[in-house]
Amino acid sequence: MAWPQTSYNEPNKRQESGHIKPFIYKPPSTPLDILHKDDDLILVNKPSGLLSVPGKAKEHHDCLEHRLRAEYPEILLIHRLDHPTSGVMIFARNAQAQRHLGKQFEKRQTSKTYIARVWGNVEGDSGHINLPLISDWPNRPKQMVCFERGKSSQTNWEVLKREEKTTRLTLYPKTGRSHQLRVHCLALGHPILGDSFYAHDEALQASPRLQLHAQSLKFRHPSGGEWTEIISPCPF
């Protein structure tokens, strides 16, 4: 399928102000949701509001990695999801599996699918976003589009459903930059609902959580190389 290129919109006034809400960490107390496990790996459904890995502050030590390690002390980190993003995360159970999976992520050999609800009516049925990203240093951890110094960042998208004030999208990231999907949706002119970093007030108030979910992850199994896909149904 040929993905049409998508034009870039300038950041809205909320983003130009650099305003960021203070981070108040209230991790959910939901039990672990194991999607798949075998001798080499474990895939877990991360809930929105839980850190993937511990933060620097003592009160930010509760995270998916720590909770999982309490039951599976051998686990090794492969990748991360943003704190407000839910969905599929994979952990290795031995060093060989970690190396194998790590190379797949590094060489972009995995396939990821996300579901997002964004503000407004998105024009067209599909598109390709190719906008380089870099840290917005004075406002970190926010990211921004920068054609001079940004790293290549690419996302394909398709419309799933149009609603009265919002659009449900399927997102296919081709790269894995920090906040990539959130900034790319903002650049489309359609921020993700509930995004405390990038959404304007109406989009922010439209949902109590970031409506971004890592629905599926497809990869080659470290033992044998068979293609494996794990799916977590979208909760919103």
Q: Which of 40, 82, 136, 201 is catalytic?
A: 82
Tokens of 220: 């080659």
Taking Cα atoms as reference points, which of 228, 157, 147 lies closest to residue 1? Answer: 157
What per-residue confidence (pLDDT) applies to 13?
A: 43
What per-residue confidence (pLDDT) applies to 6?
A: 80
pLDDT beneath 50, residues of the chain: 12-18
Q: What angle do CA 227, 152, 10 make, to 5 degrees?
A: 125
What per-residue confidence (pLDDT) applies to 17?
A: 44
The domain defined by 13-22+112-213 carries CATH number 3.40.1180.10: no
Q: Where are the beta strands (DSSP E) in the chain?
A: 34-37, 41-46, 76-77, 86-92, 111-119, 126-130, 133-135, 143-145, 154-162, 166-173, 212-220, 227-231
- Mean predicted lDDT score pLDDT of the chain: 94
180's enclosing H/E stretch is: helix 180-188
pTM for the whole structure: 0.93
Tell me 98's DSSP state: H
The domain 34-109 belongs to what CATH superfamily? Answer: Pseudouridine synthase (3.30.2350.10)
d(CA 145, CA 129): 11
Q: What is the pLDDT of residues 9-28, one digit of tens each?
A: 765 444 444 455 678 899 99
Q: Is 35 exposed, middle or buried (0-12, 13-18, 19+ CB in 10 A)?
A: middle
Q: How far is CA 71 from CA 19, 89, 218, in A?
A: 39, 16, 25
Q: What are phi and psi of 188, to 5 degrees?
A: -70, -15
Q: In the chain, where are the structural domains located?
A: 13-22+112-213, 34-109
Shared fold status for 13-22+112-213 and 34-109: yes
136 belongs to the catalytic site = no
What per-residue confidence (pLDDT) applies to 11?
A: 59
